[in-house]
């Protein structure tokens, strides 16, 4: 993703002119765009966004049947402390996806069944943790989309300040409050809020093209991609005029 640190938010600055640690509101993706985007796989959006925005594969769903699409509410915490996640949940609106920069820490879980039940009751669409979770079986039974770097039975502390709705890094991707977040069995993709509307049409075109390609394979009429020879020549594997 492009790293754009400009914050498009209508918020009050503190006395020094900087953003407060907790930004309480921000511009979200329009509900109609979220509904349209939810029809596509995460991989489709990653492709049409230039093969960018996909989080590292260490962040995976507890339940591979999980699927979600919503607006990012971002949280930065110190490793092993979930105080600011509780603050974020207090600010969350239905459809938000809580995305947490937990520094990849796996020494303890930042969230478990109690917080997940609270998220579900609040209408939170999903949680994405660059950290560990716990109570995996209970969370699967809830049917709540929880993505994390693994599990650990240890609980967190609730002592250390952090930030809410500032730009964060999660799974190697820059995430801003208000960006679109899409997840399924393949993992999580983040799309800048400003680009969502323009990419939905391209996503539909991509799906149509892929279906045509698969139909050609199944029918036996297109058992290799049409671009293969040209790409091999461009790479120097085949000589000019040569073909497989």
Gap between the Cα atoms of 124 and 132, Å rounded: 19
pLDDT band at residue 243 using 50, 70 and 90 as cut-offs: confident
pLDDT band at residue 144 using 50, 70 and 90 as cut-offs: very high
Mean pLDDT, rounded, for 198-205: 96
E strand spans, the chain: 60-61, 68-76, 96-111, 126-133, 146-148, 163-164, 168-170, 173-175, 180-184, 187-191
CA-wise closest residue to 173 among 159, 160, 162, 183: 183
* Domain spans of the chain, in order of start: 31-194
113 among annotated binding-site residues: yes
Residue 3 has pLDDT above 70, yes or no: no
Mean pLDDT, rounded, for 185-195: 97
CB of 112 closer than 8 Å to CB of 134: yes
* Lookup: tokens for 58: 């260490």
Residue 8 has pLDDT above 70, yes or no: no
- Regarding beta strands 96-111 and 126-133, do their DSSP bridges make them parallel or antiparallel, or are they unpaired? parallel
The pTM is what?
Answer: 0.89
Q: Among residues of the chain, what percentage have pLDDT more than 70?
A: 93
50 among annotated binding-site residues: no
Gap between the Cα atoms of 207 and 211, Å rounded: 6
Mean pLDDT, rounded, for 56-79: 97
pLDDT band at residue 17 using 50, 70 and 90 as cut-offs: low
- In this predicted structure, what is the pLDDT of residue 15? 44
- CA 52 to chain centroid: 12
* Lookup: tokens for 51: 């093969």
Mean pLDDT, rounded, for 230-234: 91
- In this predicted structure, what is the pLDDT of residue 19? 80
- In this predicted structure, what is the pLDDT of residue 244? 87
60 among annotated binding-site residues: no
135 among annotated binding-site residues: yes
14 among annotated binding-site residues: no
Three-state DSSP state, 125:
coil
User: Is CATH 3.50.30.40 correct for 31-194?
Assistant: yes
Rounding to the nearest 10 degrees, give the CA dihedral for residues 172, 178, 182, 187. Answer: 20
CA-wise closest residue to 58 among 128, 110, 134, 156: 128
CB of 172 closer than 8 Å to CB of 155: no
Letter string b/e over residues 167-198, b meaning 16 or more CB atoms within 10 A of that residue's CB = bbbbbebbbbbbbbbbbbebbbbbbbbebbee
Residue 231 has pLDDT above 70, yes or no: yes
Mean pLDDT, rounded, for 188-203: 97
Residue 217 has pLDDT above 50, yes or no: yes
Mean pLDDT, rounded, for 62-67: 97
CB of 139 closer than 8 Å to CB of 132: no
Span 84-101, pLDDT tens digits: 999 999 999 999 999 999
Token pair 């693994």 is at which residue?
150
Rounding to the nearest 10 degrees, give the CA dihedral for residues 127, 129, 133, 139. Answer: 20
139 among annotated binding-site residues: no
């Amino acid at each position: 993703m492009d790293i754009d640190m400009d914050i498009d938010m209508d918020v009050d600055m503190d006395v020094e002119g900087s953003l407060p640690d907790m930004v309480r509101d921000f511009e979200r993706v329009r509900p109609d765009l979220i509904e349209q985007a939810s029809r596509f796989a995460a991989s489709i959006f990653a492709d049409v966004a230039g093969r960018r925005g996909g989080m590292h594969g260490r962040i995976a769903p507890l339940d591979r049947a999980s699927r979600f699409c919503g607006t990012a509410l971002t949280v930065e915490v110190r490793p092993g402390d979930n105080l600011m996640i509780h603050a974020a949940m207090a600010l969350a609106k239905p459809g938000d996806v809580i995305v947490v920069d937990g520094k990849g820490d796996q020494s303890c879980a930042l969230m478990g069944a109690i917080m997940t039940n609270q998220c579900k009751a609040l209408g939170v669409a999903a949680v994405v943790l660059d950290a560990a979770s716990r109570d995996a079986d209970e969370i699967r039974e809830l049917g709540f989309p929880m993505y994390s770097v693994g599990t650990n039975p240890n609980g967190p502390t609730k002592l250390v300040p952090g930030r809410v709705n500032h730009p964060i890094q999660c799974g190697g991707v820059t995430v801003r409050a208000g960006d679109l977040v899409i997840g399924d069995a393949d993992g999580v993709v983040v799309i800048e809020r400003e680009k969502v509307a323009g990419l939905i049409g391209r996503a539909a075109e991509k799906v149509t093209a892929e279906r045509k390609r698969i139909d050609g394979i199944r029918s036996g009429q297109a058992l290799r991609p049409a671009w293969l020879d040209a790409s091999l020549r461009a790479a120097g594997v085949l000589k000019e005029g040569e073909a497989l």
